[in-house]
Chains A and B, each alone.
Chain A
Amino acid sequence: MFGNLSRNDWVLFLGFSAVVLLAPILFQPIGAAYPAILQKFCIFGLFAIGFNILFGLTGYLSFGHAAFLGVGSYAAVWSFKLFTMNVIPAMIMSVAFAGIFAFVIGFVSLRRSGIYFSILTLAFAQMSYNMAYSVLTPLTNGETGLQLSLKDPRIIDAMFITPGAGLPRSNIFGIEVSGGGMPGFYFTAVMLIIGFYLSMRIFRSPFGLMLKAIKSNQNRMRYTGFNTRPYLMAAFVISGLYAGLAGSLMASVDPLAGAERMQWTASGEVVLMTILGGVGTLVGPVIGAAVIKYFENIFSAFNENALNNIFSFIPDAVREPIVKLLSLFVGEGWSLTLGLVFMAIVIFLPGGIMEGVRLLTSLFKKGGNGNKPAVSGHTQPAE
């Protein structure tokens, strides 16, 4: 079972796990050591890892991945409402539903490739989003979003526990996951590490190689006698499962689900994360997710007063224009910064942060870039 992971892979895996588990200590200096944001890192990291299995390995750019995240969230909240507040059944249910959903969408969308594939996935995601808002309101509770209530049956819980006064919290055999505590973070962190391990196995497996071959030249694969469709299908469904799992985690740490999670801007966000971190690399997507979520948190908290305090050492006459200019990019304007950074990355550094790191290390020690995961350049669309 451990055959195809090299020693470097194990070092990478152990290092990754250590960083994730020690995050509450390591991220102390940059002020991101509280559970709410750490959970976000993990959940979106997982989402991006899944997306990367599709986009990074096969080059198929899906613009509708948020739909699976949304389906996962809804499934998890329904499991909380109907059965139990334990997160294990919720996760199983989310993954199952997201998988079925991904299978159906993938079956149709994968008939086409390139931009048509992007548009088809986008169309399906927008369809799900619009339906979640309108027709499926009994299932999704429309604009308000699906929430827990005291009247929920919770069949399994009702057999064992007498319900308390308030809304119950999601738990894993008694340990509270929701409510913004550290156990919630460790739960998501463990899921992220498992997800990372699985994605590493996929990257190093013959199946992963097959996907990479499809990305570089699908026609040649077909001519050599491989039917590429089942492989693509599997990659699509796997990345859908990851998204469903991320959705269930999102619902676990905060038991509600809204349709806006399925909107195409949400799909765009995961694309940004993956690109920013480094498409086709193992840790890149997680780094991208963490960077985006971190700066989103920091930047959107800034406002003109905060800037004035920071630059208080500069004389007023100079400070005012500087603060005016910078306030464009913080607070409400965080998306502007994100857009600019994203454009810069696509233009100058298509391999994302990971390629930057690799370039830097090879700059410092000539030719000594062996211990970094291979960066497979920028993506080629599947032709």
Chain B
Amino acid sequence: MDAIILQILNGLDKGGAYALIALGLTLVFGTLGVVNFAHGALFMLGAFCAVTFNKLLTLEKVTVDPTQMTAWGSPMEVKTPVVEAWLGEFGKVLVNYSVPVSIIVAIPVMLILGIIMERGLIRHFYKRPHADQILVTFGLAIVIQEIIKHFYGANPIPQAAPAAFAGTAQVGMLLGLGDAIPYPWWRLIYLFFSLAIIGLVFAFLQFTTYGMVVRAGMRDRETVGLLGIDIERRFTVVFGIAAVVAGMAGVMYTPILPPDYHMGMDFLVLSFVVVVVGGMGSLGGAVAAGFLLGILQSFASMNEIKSIIPGIDQIIIYLVAVVILLTMPRGLMGRKGVMED
């Protein structure tokens, strides 16, 4: 029982990341009809927003302190982070909480990047075949990833979670099941964070007029356009939102997985599988499939299961995708008439 709960929890945080990326992919696909292979790159860019912010915060100023001497008798050089020098205690707190705080930085950055991407490139590919869209965004993903590699190097850059959340939570205690389920705090936070973001996106689409128009546009953009609404502009904003969601998913994921330049591609392939399993164009399907595949993957990596079917942990997601696609042509919750054949 404990083992099962632990595996479900393990799957949920990864599933949260899959769900957030897949949600953005589906939003873009549903509104713009564009298959965006560069979406993983946005996830990666979000992660590197956190890295950059952290680097800026920990810039150090070297001062010579004449009161202290080194062992050789020369005045000692003391390094103090600039932020601490300016802001004192608050600076220390800021450095400690750099990962969550960098979300504030990441939101405008990702929004602007997303809008530039849509206006500058994707816009011109609405009418082109899906194959062209895949190819051009694939090229874009390579470009973004190489630029990041040039500036940040090829090695993963570990980011620390705030000290307060560095330990493990005794989830079993919280649920009244004894102390056998240790689980890192940060992963738990990631899970709730992703649920909150998903909730926000759904609320935005469901309960605001803006979201209502977007949903209407997803169904029939021509009619919405005829009603005198500038649907293109709204879709651009939706693309920006998708970029922000991917970016925030990336920011918060940094303490779990040290970001490197190809993390976007790694997640993208899986997220595409998630989208297809959930059903192209179905937001609920994307989220459900994200969590489902995350959990399945973590169950498959249990030793008990690996000893029955060796190597299953490596292929489970793809295997599920193949089975689902062959038995349910529209995915789990695909809408009728969207990318069907």
What is the 8 Å Cβ interface bit string for chain B, positions 66-99, against chain A (1 contact, 0 not)? 0000000000000000000000000000000000
Task: Tell me if B218 counts as interface (CB < 8 A to partner A).
Answer: no
Q: Which of A112, A115, A135, A264 contacts B269 (CB 8 A)?
A: A264
Binds A, one of B1-9, B132-140, B228-236: B132-140
Q: How far is the CB of A326 from chain B (nearest CB, A)?
A: 12
Instruction: Flag if B339 contacts A131 (CB, 8 Å).
Output: no
Q: Which of B129, B136, B280 contacts A343 (CB 8 A)?
A: B136
Instruction: Flag if B132 contacts A118 (CB, 8 Å).
Output: no
A225 to B297, CA, bound (A): 44
Q: Number of residue pairs across A and B with beta carbons under 8 Å?
A: 117
Chain B residues with CB below 8 A from A131, complex form: 311, 314-315
Chain B residues with CB below 8 A from A116, complex form: 276, 325, 339, 341
Instruction: Flag if B326 contacts A130 (CB, 8 Å).
Output: no
Instruction: Flag if A378 contacts B132 (CB, 8 Å).
Output: yes
Give the one of B132, B134, B139 with max A CB within 10 A: B139
Chain A minimum-CB-distance residue to B129: A381
Instruction: Give the interface size bracket for B toward A.
Output: 35 or more
Give the one of A115, A123, A343, A379 with max B CB within 10 A: A123
Instruction: Flag if A123 contacts B310 (CB, 8 Å).
Output: no
Q: How far is the CB of A132 from chain B (nearest CB, A)?
A: 10
Binds B, one of A174-182, A235-243, A291-299, A330-338: A330-338
Q: How far is the CB of A303 from chain B (nearest CB, A)?
A: 13
State whether A350 and B132 are in contact (beta carbons under 8 Å apart), knowing that A108-B322, A119-B272, A122-B272 are contacts in the complex.
yes
Instruction: Flag if A111 contacts B326 (CB, 8 Å).
Output: yes
Instruction: Flag if B147 contacts A336 (CB, 8 Å).
Output: yes
A333 to B31, CA, bound (A): 34
A383 to B130, CA, bound (A): 10
Instruction: Flag if B142 contacts A127 (CB, 8 Å).
Output: no
Task: Tell me if B126 counts as interface (CB < 8 A to partner A).
Answer: no
Task: Tell me if A21 counts as interface (CB < 8 A to partner B).
Answer: no
Chain A minimum-CB-distance residue to B275: A119
Chain B minimum-CB-distance residue to A334: B146
A126 to B317, CA, bound (A): 10
State whether A127 and B143 are in contact (beta carbons under 8 Å apart), knowing that A113-B341, A115-B339 are contacts in the complex.
no
Q: Tell me the residues in window 172-206 of chain B with beta carbons closer than 8 Å to chain A beta carbons.
A: none
A333 to B145, CA, bound (A): 10
Instruction: Flag if B140 contacts A130 (CB, 8 Å).
Output: no
Chain B minimum-CB-distance residue to A264: B269
Q: Which of B138, B146, B311, B341 contacts A383 (CB 8 A)?
A: B341
Instruction: Flag if B276 contacts A381 (CB, 8 Å).
Output: no
Q: List 11 A-B contacts (CB under 8 A).
A: A61-B131, A111-B326, A113-B341, A122-B269, A336-B150, A339-B140, A339-B142, A342-B138, A343-B139, A379-B132, A381-B131
A-side interface residues toward B, CB under 8 Å? 59, 61, 108, 111-116, 118-120, 122-124, 126-127, 130-131, 133-136, 264-265, 268, 271, 275, 328, 332-333, 335-336, 338-340, 342-343, 346-347, 350, 378-381, 383
Given contacts A59-B131, A116-B341, A120-B322, 19 further A-B contacts (CB under 8 A): A61-B134, A111-B326, A118-B134, A119-B276, A120-B325, A122-B269, A123-B273, A123-B318, A123-B322, A126-B318, A127-B314, A130-B314, A130-B315, A135-B310, A333-B146, A336-B147, A343-B140, A346-B132, A381-B131
